Structure 1
């Protein structure tokens, strides 16, 4: 289970009403660059135990300064520095600088970023009371998703389309990086820790970052990349959302798992879900084409292809 799926909620949008008369009002304009010496304990009241990941800890907390519940991300300074060193000389924006640019209903809002007194990079994000998409998929409860999938898929695509239009490649699209509302009506993309600008210097072969089960073959094969690596990962993600299965046998979750993405043809999704709308099924399979030239070219193209789809299920004969 992924980091964000170990807890039922972490980041999304839930703004609390003013409670304390002495609490500071939430600013109308978003604060972006925060403190370079944040005192975490003084400003935040921890509401849940920290959840540890590879490069960061996530905490659900109350921000005393603005009297609101937030998601607080505390990064491992050494690991972040190691990742950023790959792009030395390219003036790559750090995660916080990328995240605060995102203003879209299907992308988590980042209020502020900076550095703690201990030298840790931090981000303060909105909070949503709902499960991670990976958690939803792993429970395999059809009743939770019935009638919801098509809307969720469109929202995921809209959020990704926005990120791409802002000029970035997310590089880690997978179910654990989407958070749902508790009623499963809304979904948001999160985590820009591996995100890079969609510019030639950042798309050269060799940057093998991402989650192997969702990784496009051109990444693991060390070929040129572009935003279509996100399209591929999106395709695998929504395949699992619809089928509760992967397009390939899962025998490994390391980098070796991605090697079969261009050596074995993906299993047609209709084998698992013969009741799926054929237009949607075709669009999903096109997203996971191992050949970049045959793949869905963009999130906008995906949204166009499913524009006329009214139900995730095929029409009765």
Structure 2
């Protein structure tokens, strides 16, 4: 799975400057370092700063991965993809400066709803979940046309802006592009629950790999919780490789009242074990969801 990196001590970076950005506080940690809120003095605005510590655990592979992420996102100008403004390094860290999204990630939104005191409000409204996923698919389709496969689509990597509920894809840290040379046959990267069977087996990925993950994300957004076994990543990877059709314990329509037969068909098709049975493109999956909205009288 994802490689480990050197730990970051907040005391060593809070108040420190990277480029013309001063670190203010930590936002979160991931597979490729930690993300902080920073203040960009030149434009007097808050930004997000991702830091990757230099050290033995990072090595050359991690540094190239971090740099490739920045170069990848730099050419992806799309409203549903968080832009990177700057990349650099000092003696201790590699850093990326990117847009700070005022909101929460989709995973946090889903978990927050599960705590609602009214049972009927513990799941996201289907039209809301479908609308968010459709916008994410726009961003993914754009990335795919530019030869970029994200490879780690999951609710935590979808930031939703508080003001207009616009979802934005983040963390292209393990994206596969035409430029990357370090992805080898047999290398497994990504988050186990959202990995496609071919990704779990370390085989070559393509756009349909991201669509598998988006099918799982759609199911989770609609159901609140996925009907899966409580098993560790190793067992889950083996299941994805050997028995991929046994991932879900119940059919989508049996899991949540908001999932009708058409939404179930879309989820089942996008999470098919064989990628040739999935949607052929992000636009094809988005078109299916658009048709569902029209049938619901919501409009395209």
Q: TM-score range by the shorter chain?
A: 0.7 to 0.9
Q: What is the alpha-carbon distance in structure 2 between the residues aligned to residue 101 and residue 200 of structure 1?
A: 15
Structure 2 residue aligned with 1:35: none
Structure 1 position 257, deviation (Å): 1.5
User: Which structure has more helix as a fraction of its residues?
Assistant: 2
Q: What is the alpha-carbon distance in structure 2 between the residues aligned to residue 110 and residue 85 of structure 1?
A: 17
1:57 is aligned to 2:34: yes
Q: Does structure 2 conserve the Cα–Cα contact (< 8 Å) formed by 1:198 and 1:226?
A: no
Q: What is the alpha-carbon distance in structure 2 between the residues aligned to residue 200 and residue 97 of structure 1?
A: 11
Structure 1 position 98, deviation (Å): 0.8
Aligned partner of residue 112 in structure 1, secondary structure: strand
Q: What is the alpha-carbon distance in structure 1 between the residues aligned to residue 270 and residue 26 of structure 2?
A: 38
Structure 1 residue aligned with 2:8: none
Structure 2 residue aligned with 1:31: none
Structure 1 residue aligned with 2:61: 83
Q: Does structure 1 conserve the Cα–Cα contact (< 8 Å) formed by 2:123 and 2:221?
A: no
Q: How many residues are paired up? A: 271
Distance 1:86 1:59, change over 3 A: closer
Q: Does structure 2 conserve the Cα–Cα contact (< 8 Å) formed by 1:96 and 1:114?
A: no
> Over aligned residue pairs, what C-alpha RMSD do you find?
2.9
Aligned partner of residue 230 in structure 1, secondary structure: helix
Distance 1:203 1:76, change over 3 A: closer
Structure 1 position 56, deviation (Å): 0.9
Find the partner of 1:303 among 286, 291, 295. Answer: 286
Aligned ranges 1:29-68 → 2 under 5 Å = 40=17, 43-49=20-26, 51-68=28-45
Q: TM-score, normalised by structure 2?
A: 0.79
Structure 1 position 58, deviation (Å): 0.8
Q: TM-score, normalised by structure 1?
A: 0.76
Structure 1 position 50, deviation (Å): 5.5
Q: Does structure 1 conserve the Cα–Cα contact (< 8 Å) formed by 2:84 and 2:99?
A: yes
Which structure 1 residue ranges, 5 or more long, are not aligned? 1-38
Find the partner of 1:256 among 210, 214, 235. Answer: 235
Q: Does structure 1 conserve the Cα–Cα contact (< 8 Å) formed by 2:222 and 2:258?
A: no
266-275 or 47-56, larger mean C-alpha shift: 47-56
Q: What is the alpha-carbon distance in structure 1 between the residues aligned to residue 109 and residue 94 of structure 2?
A: 30
1:70 is aligned to 2:47: yes
Distance 1:94 1:200, change over 3 A: closer
Structure 1 position 181, deviation (Å): 1.4
Aligned ranges 1:235-250 → 2 under 5 Å = 235-250=215-230
Q: What is the alpha-carbon distance in structure 2 between the residues aligned to residue 58 and residue 200 of structure 1?
A: 23
Aligned ranges 1:1-317 → 2 under 5 Å = 40=17, 43-49=20-26, 51-78=28-55, 79-84=57-62, 94-115=68-89, 117-139=90-112, 140=114, 141=116, 142=121, 145-146=124-125, 147-183=127-163, 185-198=165-178, 205-252=185-232, 254-261=233-240, 262-263=242-243, 264-265=245-246, 266=248, 267-310=250-293
Q: What is the alpha-carbon distance in structure 2 between the residues aligned to residue 80 and residue 193 of structure 1?
A: 13
Structure 1 position 192, deviation (Å): 1.1
Structure 1 position 134, deviation (Å): 1.0
73-82 or 203-212, larger mean C-alpha shift: 73-82
Which structure 2 residue ranges, 5 or more long, are not aligned? 1-15
Q: Does structure 1 conserve the Cα–Cα contact (< 8 Å) formed by 2:105 and 2:160?
A: yes
Q: Does structure 1 conserve the Cα–Cα contact (< 8 Å) formed by 2:82 and 2:169?
A: yes
